[in-house]
Amino acid sequence: MAGSHHVGSESSLASPSDQPHRTAFHFQPPKNWMNDPNGPMYYNGVYHFFYQHNPFGPLFNPQMYWAHSVSRDLINWTPLNHAFAPTQPFDINGCWSGSATILPGNKPVILYTGLDSEHHQVQNLAVPKDLSDPYLQEWVGYTGNPVINLPDGIQHDDFRDPTTAWLANDGKWRVIIGSQKDKKGIAFLYRSEDFVNWSMHESPLYEVAGTGIWECPDFFPVCVDSNNGVDTSVMNSRVKHVLKVGLYDYTRDYYLIGSYTPEKESFVPQNELTLDALRYDYGKYYASKSFFDPVKNRRILMGWVNESDSETDCIAKGWSGLQSFPRSIWLDQNQKQLVQWPIEEIKMLHENEVSIQNMNLEGGSIHEIVGITASQADVKISFKLTNLEKAEELDMSGIDPQVFCSEMDASKKGKFGPFGLLALASHDLFEQTAIFFRVFQNNGRYTVLMCSDQSRSSTRNGLDKTTYGAFVDIDPQQDEISLRTLIDHSIVESFGGGGKTCITARVYPTLAIGDDARLFAFNYGTESVLISELSAWSVKKARINIEETIGCT
Ligand code: DQQ
């Protein structure tokens, strides 16, 4: 059932000077629309990444295809033919999101949502046509598809996005599927002994009233005492489980951490799913999916980062949508939240290292970081604060950090903060994306706020320049306040507090492009802060989806 469409080659795009916002080391197709990551997996030496693709244009179209790329290092990707095209009665109106599972005997399979001939969302099974093909280029739909039909009482378009399945001790596979009923978000649970015959468990794995449809759920174990990842079926006293759901109504990925007992099919989270709940990323980021990488014993997460410009702009660019840089993801030592960090393979792309130690950044000062390509960079900076008793008094309880960051943008002076980075800045700072912190105290407790302010990111109007914000769960009395930011022409992906708080933004500078982009550390607070350590690199261009003969060795 592989589509015969070949994705266009990069040479068909306008020259780089006409494409100042195309990225260099983030995953994107050669052209046209991309949204959700689908079925990431590792199989016999090759990483596979599928994604929702409209091969015919740069805008969303429900008649989705599954595009397919392969890599040996998660950095350079080779495009293959589409794995699924909407051609069969069970997916004729679209091949929507889904996940891969490696069955015993090292046999990969995929479950994905099809929009059938009646526009019902159903779940389909597919297997590689030839397991001896190292790239698994062709996929075949199971003849008995769909393997899971729309449940009674659920609307035809409210049942989608099967997860990677997990196997419990009773020999039954489990999978969850996103849904809703009367605005109650639901993760329906299905079980099967053979991966073909599935039956719905009497109660969902989890549901929360008032949250609307749950898209692209993900359910996986995380170790309580190590940063290593574990395979999705691992269940023992050393793991907790994470349930991630995409709330369609808000385009946000929220997660719950809890205990899962397969014998009772109960998932008891330790945190609540509210709009203030934990999120993978507090910026532009959605429909993410994780997978276990057995090569380095880690769990890797990728998410869809949509555009912030207009449909007209996407048509002019000829493409739309990025994937976040792959992140390792694990449970924080305090077991209250997850931590994310760019995968170490990024080092392959580093060059021109610049480093600074113990530099005092006076209140109201700015320091240019020179010697790297600021439009294509990886920068890590750590701030040490002393005299914290001088921090502003503010009771942050009940404050929405995003609203607060929007009102207190980077230009508003505080005491400790705003301090951080000005990315993709023009020489006169007219254009800049400011990623920064503010520190407050209340009754002897400190709160660290992280903001990503896009309000001056471009001279252009008509862009979504929403400012994002979130708290960072660290104590500045004990810990330095660290920020890592990946800058790639039109994406600014930031990791605060060692990866406890992530914020991704899309920006479209007109002045700060290519070699004209600058990078600064800044401190507009009145109190000085110490840059204890700064390391920054230019990031080389990766080979991403440039058509060539397969052989990504
Ligand atoms: N995108 C897919 C759906 C999923 C949504 C369609 C999330 O399967 O629910 O392209 O972005």
- How far CA 41 is from CA of 133, 190, 263, in Å, comes to 15, 21, 27
Rounded to whole angstroms, how far apart are CA atoms 74 and 544?
Answer: 10
- Kindly state if the Cβ of 52 falls inside 6 Å of ligand 1: yes
Task: Tell me, in angstroms, the distance from the centre of ligand 1 to residue 154's CA.
Answer: 17
Instruction: State how many domains the chain has.
Output: 2
Same domain, 281 and 411: no
Rounded to whole angstroms, how far apart are CA atoms 435 and 532?
Answer: 18
Classify residue 216: in a domain, yes or no.
yes
CATH number at residue 142: 2.115.10.20
- Predicted local distance difference test score (pLDDT) of residue 18: 81
Domain boundary among 292, 315, 342: 342
Classify residue 544: in a domain, yes or no.
no
Average pLDDT for residues 64-93, to the nearest whole number?
98
Domain boundary among 324, 342, 360: 342
Same domain, 399 and 473: yes
Same domain, 312 and 368: no
> Quick check: 531 and 362 in contact, CB under 8 A?
no
- Kindly state if the Cβ of 64 falls inside 6 Å of ligand 1: yes
Same domain, 311 and 366: no
Task: Tell me, in angstroms, the distance from the centre of ligand 1 to residue 197's CA.
Answer: 24
* Cβ-count burial 434-453 (b if 16+ within 10 Å, e if not): bbbbbbbbeeeebbbbbbbb
- Kindly state if the Cβ of 160 falls inside 6 Å of ligand 1: yes
Same domain, 292 and 379: no
**Given pLDDT bands bounded at 50, 70 and 90, which one contains residue 86?**
very high
Residue nearest to atom 10 of ligand 1 (CA): 96
Boundaries of domain holding 125: 10-342
Same domain, 409 and 273: no
Q: Which of 215, 288, 324 to mutate to test the pocket of ligand 1 (most atoms within 8 A of CB)?
A: 215
Q: Which of 33, 34, 35, 123 to mutate to test the pocket of ligand 1 (most atoms within 8 A of CB)?
A: 35
Of ligand 1's listed atoms, the one at least distance from the Cα of 97 is: 8
Q: The pTM is what?
A: 0.96
- How far CA 16 is from CA of 20, 362, 376, in Å, comes to 6, 39, 14
Rounded to whole angstroms, how far apart are CA atoms 240 and 222?
Answer: 5
- Kindly state if the Cβ of 419 falls inside 6 Å of ligand 1: no
- Kindly state if the Cβ of 91 falls inside 6 Å of ligand 1: no
- Kindly state if the Cβ of 111 falls inside 6 Å of ligand 1: no
- Kindly state if the Cβ of 97 falls inside 6 Å of ligand 1: yes
- Kindly state if the Cβ of 35 falls inside 6 Å of ligand 1: yes
Q: Which of 34, 38, 52 to mutate to test the pocket of ligand 1 (most atoms within 8 A of CB)?
A: 52
Same domain, 489 and 362: yes
Same domain, 334 and 364: no
Share of the chain above pLDDT 90, in %: 95
> Quick check: 492 and 504 in contact, CB under 8 A?
yes
- Tell me: the pLDDT tens digits for 135-190? 999 999 999 999 999 999 999 999 999 999 999 999 999 999 999 999 999 999 99
**Given pLDDT bands bounded at 50, 70 and 90, which one contains residue 552?**
very low
Task: Tell me, in angstroms, the distance from the centre of ligand 1 to residue 215's CA.
Answer: 7
Q: Which of 120, 160, 324 to mutate to test the pocket of ligand 1 (most atoms within 8 A of CB)?
A: 160
- Kindly state if the Cβ of 158 falls inside 6 Å of ligand 1: no
Catalytic residue among 36, 161, 453, 488: 36
Of ligand 1's listed atoms, the one at least distance from the Cα of 98 is: 8
Domain boundary among 342, 366, 383: 342
Q: Is the pLDDT of residue 9 over 90?
A: no
Q: Can 91 be counted among the known catalytic residues?
A: no
Same domain, 506 and 411: yes
Task: Tell me, in angstroms, the distance from the centre of ligand 1 to residue 55's CA.
Answer: 16
- How far CA 445 is from CA of 386, 389, 418, 475, in Å, comes to 15, 10, 19, 8
Of ligand 1's listed atoms, the one at least distance from the Cα of 161 is: 8
Q: Is the pLDDT of residue 228 over 80?
A: yes
CATH number at residue 524: 2.60.120.560
- Kindly state if the Cβ of 164 falls inside 6 Å of ligand 1: no
Pick from 527, 244, 257, 493: which is nearest to 392 by CA?
527
Average pLDDT for residues 78-98, to the nearest whole number?
98
- Tell me: the pLDDT tens digits for 286-312? 999 999 999 999 999 999 999 999 999
